[in-house]
Structure 1
């Protein structure tokens, strides 16, 4: 390799760079190491052996970012929630409120999913929780498999869309826009997705009640006792969600501070429920370190890669190429969406964010679009990538806890209507940017 990669010129250099990333990913190496490796080869191959400071300064710049502190806090919060009975009680509490509705348990699952998303927003944990709590119950009641699976995966993935979402925090970091504004803008599309799912379930169940048999009735005197219990079990999660989102929206706390408040809230709730133990804390901390380690390493690899690529003249090359397309600005945004959807079939959202956004965002602002709106498009797009085959993470999370007779193929076929709904919301956001931005005006 040695010196002289720069003889390729930026266009060929770009193809070699992208090609080598995909080739290495096929070997099964983790994304963080692939990007880091390619970045180092290009740093030294293009700029020679004295280029090390390029790498170190990029790493330092990424790691010392204050808003990143919010990430381990939200992950820790989710890990604590996973291990406490809060979600389980929330699920049984919602049952009383869902009552005898057609598709009641499916709607109850969606409501719980929105609640969990508003508390912490970690995808894997939510799908696993719902897969353990809700899926067996729906299958036992004789629900249509496709609806049951779809609701768990699509509902569980709402965590990246409904604030406080880690996707939006990372986007805000890369785009240098206010994370609180992103949170405000994400509320409408997030609830829109959830209500589309709910309407879909209701309509299907009204047309064919056999798809989702109602729960057996509860005796009236038991009903009253249950209602009190239900309010208790919904109170704590509502309080936690309010602590996090209320303080951000009211402008009392920054996102990072609110994340710490959330951890405090969950710890307090666990103490009130008398579930507090050293083991619980220990397991939650280990899981947090695992998850954050992965996020930070991917971030470091991508930060170096994008830094080196831009120094090679990559950002000028890409924006010249994209702005050179003789088309309306919205067409360019559509091309970006298409690229994100294709990458979403193969890569993790965090890798996609770190690799594409630093290159896309300057173009988006140059075309005169609002980076907050683009952030919402990005988040909805990542919703699609969570469900889309062949590597939709949601399906794999669910497969881990679903009954053995449910195959990955079953899961992916069940997700098709939900992917269509996600693309519909994406289209609405593209056509009517105000649907995301109206709360900011």
Structure 2
């Protein structure tokens, strides 16, 4: 009887890759594809005795205490989706920019940063901004491509700005401090947001027709003060969540619970709370976390089997063999992540590649925390890049009918270039991360 182990690790690795691609092309979800391939190769390579090894690997992934923070941050985002906090925040920020050319686009980026700092979830942000900011920019005569790009790129900042779930999953996979990752990603996240603002200002002043100056605001001072109250609760939640982490008062998991409590309290104070709202947020949280957990289970099982086969050592030797210069190897890894990001979900990319990449990064003498920030910045690109950039599909679900996916992807090209520039800066100047 033919055993898969007779293929050898070289052809075994190729067989896994071909099987993964073939099954994904059928439309089967990534979680089930990876789990099926792991089971086939566990049985075919080692026999039935290897199955308990898969279950132990899966258990170690889902039983991590820090993983509890993921549903908490997802819950925060789900509650924000259903409350009027984001709308009030956007209305309050409208008063800050005054009559600056491109003010609404810049305010959208600022609101995106605050929303990212409250939840760390991407999809909800883009949908919220697509409902709030995009119609307003189009109504005011903003260039359509600029408006679309600002919403998608700004809404994707949750990948970088703490408390980013991308960083949490990376920390779990790479076994590094999530608190250190949050601290190191804070400045790069704000740097990327400032690049977006700079790009907006440059474009609208070179071509004023892209962003007409808003007419003078005649809102009475008393009404402006009422609108500014919309800033108070979101900023308090951000201060409590990030302040408790950076101040060493609470762990990431504990801070996530503080964040949920803060958002719930905000909703109660705004008199928006209802059991229907809570039920909807809980169901959305279960759905999102179920997807993350299933992808994690499948990817953990596949990486565990591949490691037992000797595949991780084989792939590591291939990658390290491409050059004697560490920076060339890092660039090659970034290219692999960029290509994978065009086709796979970031959770799958993190869990499939980081067990291979992180040991190589450490052996080359680089800081795994710095590499984690690089990974998160690279995943920013994956959210926008065609053909499967999720940001475009999120926006399409709430955009006017005349805005096609093709228009959205074309609008994202300048922002993808900005993100790649930011990745390059982090590689050239690792001190930006404070490491």
> What TM-score bracket applies, with the shorter chain setting the length?
over 0.9
Q: Give 1:7's aligned residue.
A: 6
CA distance in 2, matches of 1:374, 1:161: 13
Q: Give 1:149's aligned residue.
A: 148
Please state whether the residue corresponding to 1:251 is helix, strand or coil.
Answer: coil
Give the root-mean-square deviation of aligned CA atoms. 0.9
Per-residue CA deviation, residues 182-215 of structure 1 (Å, 9 max, x unaligned), is 0011011101110110011011111121111122
Please report how far the alpha carbon of residue 73 of structure 1 lies from its aligned counterpart in structure 2 after TM superposition.
Answer: 0.1
CA contact (8 A) 1:160 1:167 kept: yes
- Residue correspondence of structure 1 range 60-75 to structure 2 within 5 A: 60-75=59-74
Please state whether the residue corresponding to 1:301 is helix, strand or coil.
Answer: helix
1:230 to 180, 203, 227: 227
- Residue correspondence of structure 1 range 102-117 to structure 2 within 5 A: 102-117=101-116
CA distance in 1, matches of 2:163, 2:72: 11
Higher mean Cα deviation, 317-326 or 4-13? 317-326
Please report how far the alpha carbon of residue 413 of structure 1 lies from its aligned counterpart in structure 2 after TM superposition.
Answer: 0.5
CA distance in 2, matches of 1:121, 1:378: 16
Please report how far the alpha carbon of residue 245 of structure 1 lies from its aligned counterpart in structure 2 after TM superposition.
Answer: 0.3
Q: Give 1:127's aligned residue.
A: 126
1:386 to 372, 383, 386: 383
CA distance in 2, matches of 1:400, 1:328: 45
CA distance in 2, matches of 1:159, 1:412: 20
Per-residue CA deviation, residues 323-365 of structure 1 (Å, 9 max, x unaligned), is 2223301100110000000000000100100100011111110
Per-residue CA deviation, residues 408-440 of structure 1 (Å, 9 max, x unaligned), is 0100000000000000000000111111125xx
Please report how far the alpha carbon of residue 3 of structure 1 lies from its aligned counterpart in structure 2 after TM superposition.
Answer: 5.4
Q: Give 2:393's aligned residue.
A: 396
Please state whether the residue corresponding to 1:98 is helix, strand or coil.
Answer: coil
CA contact (8 A) 1:96 1:226 kept: no
Q: Are 1:276 and 2:273 an aligned pair?
A: yes
Please state whether the residue corresponding to 1:401 is helix, strand or coil.
Answer: coil
CA distance in 1, matches of 2:395, 2:323: 44
CA contact (8 A) 1:186 1:376 kept: yes
Per-residue CA deviation, residues 168-193 of structure 1 (Å, 9 max, x unaligned), is 00011111111011001101110111
Q: Are 1:262 and 2:259 an aligned pair?
A: yes
Q: Gaps (5+ residues) in structure 1?
A: none
CA distance in 2, matches of 1:68, 1:22: 29
Per-residue CA deviation, residues 273-312 of structure 1 (Å, 9 max, x unaligned), is 0000000000000000000000000000000000000000
Q: Give 2:313's aligned residue.
A: 316
CA distance in 2, matches of 1:427, 1:4: 45
Q: Are 1:206 and 2:228 an aligned pair?
A: no
Q: TM-score, normalised by structure 2?
A: 0.99
Please report how far the alpha carbon of residue 10 of structure 1 lies from its aligned counterpart in structure 2 after TM superposition.
Answer: 0.4
Please report how far the alpha carbon of residue 230 of structure 1 lies from its aligned counterpart in structure 2 after TM superposition.
Answer: 3.1
Please report how far the alpha carbon of residue 223 of structure 1 lies from its aligned counterpart in structure 2 after TM superposition.
Answer: 4.0
2:342 to 331, 337, 345: 345
CA distance in 1, matches of 2:322, 2:413: 32
Per-residue CA deviation, residues 26-65 of structure 1 (Å, 9 max, x unaligned), is 1111000000000000000000122111111111111111
CA distance in 1, matches of 2:320, 2:385: 29
Q: Give 2:355's aligned residue.
A: 358
Q: Gaps (5+ residues) in structure 2?
A: none
